[in-house]
Amino acid sequence: MAATAIFDPVQRDLDLVEEAIRQVGQVDYPLLASLLQYILSARGKRVRPAIVLLAASFHEYRLDLLVPLAAAIELLHTATLVHDDLVDNAAIRRGIPTLNTIAGHSVTVLVGDYLFANAARLCTETQNIRVMRVFGETLMTICDGELRQVVSAGQWRQTRQEYFDKIERKTASLLRTAAATGAILSGAPEDHIEALSQYGRHLGMAFQIVDDVLDFIGDEATLGKPVGSDLRQGTLTLPAIRLLEEQPDHPAMRRIFEDGDSSDRAIGDAVLAVVQSDGIAVAMEEARRLSRLAVASLAPLPASPSRQALETLADYVVTRAS
């Protein structure tokens, strides 16, 4: 099942979110307009906006407030990607050259900031102080997670717990916030807000683990980026941590992390070592466990097409190929 079909209950409203996002690129300064349109045209799956809308649909569904919120969350996500690609010196994202590749680092810093500003502005359209507070705190958490990743890059003595702490901050926090703020705007009771928050958090962790697995076993054309990108940046993810739990001095890993060899050959050997270990299976088992926790978190909510969509999404993230 494609991600888009899962979102059927809110598809028409997602089109409004898409239009709100497109509006951000309509500025009267031609250079900025073309850069914004370039970034915003590289559409992701819009998972976060869909979660906002689905999470809001259990109570009062205020579309006039939800559309700017969903757009704000997607723009916050886009802004962090723009800055991450700069931080990681990444050349390709979603199959097209990154902004830092085509426009240089100065412009990339400022366009990312501009997207953050737009996200903040759109968020104020919710007229909801609690939503705005959660939104600001989430950006702090994401930056904290990214900083931990940057600082720990090149270190191969990392524990699973450190990995989980990082992905909870850098990825799960925003999916959690998407679900939580959608619920808050709908006037949901606290136990429903908490249920949807936990759904988003577990889903986000599962999502990131699968992302990290795909970096080893995915198809480059489908991924839109080269396999082994994480190891090339010195980022240790769960499949490699698992390999190192079993073989702490694995020579292919030592070559990258101790000898600093980031040649295609060295990366290729390390990717192969991880793929031939049980690292992929262990990571996928963990992702499926988290996906089940996400589904279980929804227990307090009534059965509905939206709840079904959220459950299907949780299945999808652990079976997807890109």
* Smallest distance, a second copy to C-beta of residue 3, A: 28
Q: Is residue 132 a contact point for a second copy (CB under 8 A)? A: yes
Q: Is residue 133 a contact point for a second copy (CB under 8 A)? A: yes
Q: Side chain identity at 78, as an amino acid letter?
A: T
Judged by CB under 8 A, the stretch of 139-147, 174-182, 207-215, 278-286 that binds a second copy is: 139-147
Closest CA to 306 of 53, 4, 14: 53
Concatenate the DSSP letters of all residues of 291-312 into one string.
HHHHHHHTTTSPP-HHHHHHHH
Closest CA to 179 of 310, 52, 11: 52
Between residues 162 and 315, which has the closer beta carbon with respect to a second copy? 162
Judged by CB under 8 A, the stretch of 135-143, 198-206, 248-256, 277-285 that binds a second copy is: 135-143
Question: 3-state DSSP: the chain helix, strand, coil percent, rounded to 5?
Answer: 75, 0, 25
Q: Is residue 64 a contact point for a second copy (CB under 8 A)? A: no
Judged by CB under 8 A, the stretch of 13-21, 147-155, 177-185, 301-309 that binds a second copy is: 147-155
* Smallest distance, a second copy to C-beta of residue 47, A: 22
- Alpha-carbon torsion, ordered 45, 48, 49, 54, to 10 deg: 110
Residue from 45, 62, 94, 148 binding a second copy (CB under 8 A):
148
Q: Provide the 8-state DSSP code for 259.
A: S
Q: Which of the residues 87 through 116 are near a second copy (CB under 8 A)?
A: 87-88, 105-107, 109-114, 116
With vertex at residue 110, the alpha carbon angle to CA 107 and CA 112, rounded to the nearest 5 degrees, is 105
User: Quick count: other Cβ atoms within 10 Å of Cβ 71?
Assistant: 27
Residue from 53, 66, 90, 139 binding a second copy (CB under 8 A):
139
* Smallest distance, a second copy to C-beta of residue 171, A: 15
Contact pattern from residue 216 through residue 245 relative to a second copy, giving x for each residue in contact according to CB under 8 A and a dash for the rest: ------------------------------
* Smallest distance, a second copy to C-beta of residue 291, A: 29
Q: Is residue 247 a contact point for a second copy (CB under 8 A)? A: no
- The rounded Cα 314 to chain-centroid distance in angstroms is 14
Residue from 146, 215, 269, 286 binding a second copy (CB under 8 A):
146
Between residues 67 and 283, which has the closer beta carbon with respect to a second copy? 67
Give the dihedral sign, CA 305/308/313/319: negative
* Smallest distance, a second copy to C-beta of residue 127, A: 6
Range list of H helices, 92-189? 99-124, 129-152, 160-167, 173-185
Q: Half-sphere exposure of residue 52, counting CA atoms within 13 Å on the CB side?
A: 29
Q: Which of the residues 260 through 289 are near a second copy (CB under 8 A)?
A: none
* Inter-residue contact 173 to 142 (CB < 8 Å): yes
* Residue at token pair 């890993």: 253
* Residue at token pair 């699968």: 210
Alpha-carbon distance of 35 to 47, in angstroms, equals 23
* Smallest distance, a second copy to C-beta of residue 8, A: 33
Binding residue count for a second copy, defined by CB under 8 A: 42
Q: Is residue 33 a contact point for a second copy (CB under 8 A)? A: no
Residue from 3, 25, 32, 320 binding a second copy (CB under 8 A):
32
Q: How big is the chain, counted in residues?
A: 322
Alpha-carbon distance of 225 to 90, in angstroms, equals 9
Residue from 12, 121, 157, 265 binding a second copy (CB under 8 A):
121
Interacting residues with a second copy (CB under 8 A): 27, 29, 31-32, 80, 83, 86-88, 105-107, 109-114, 116-118, 120-121, 123-124, 127, 129, 132-133, 135-137, 139-140, 142-144, 146-148, 150-151
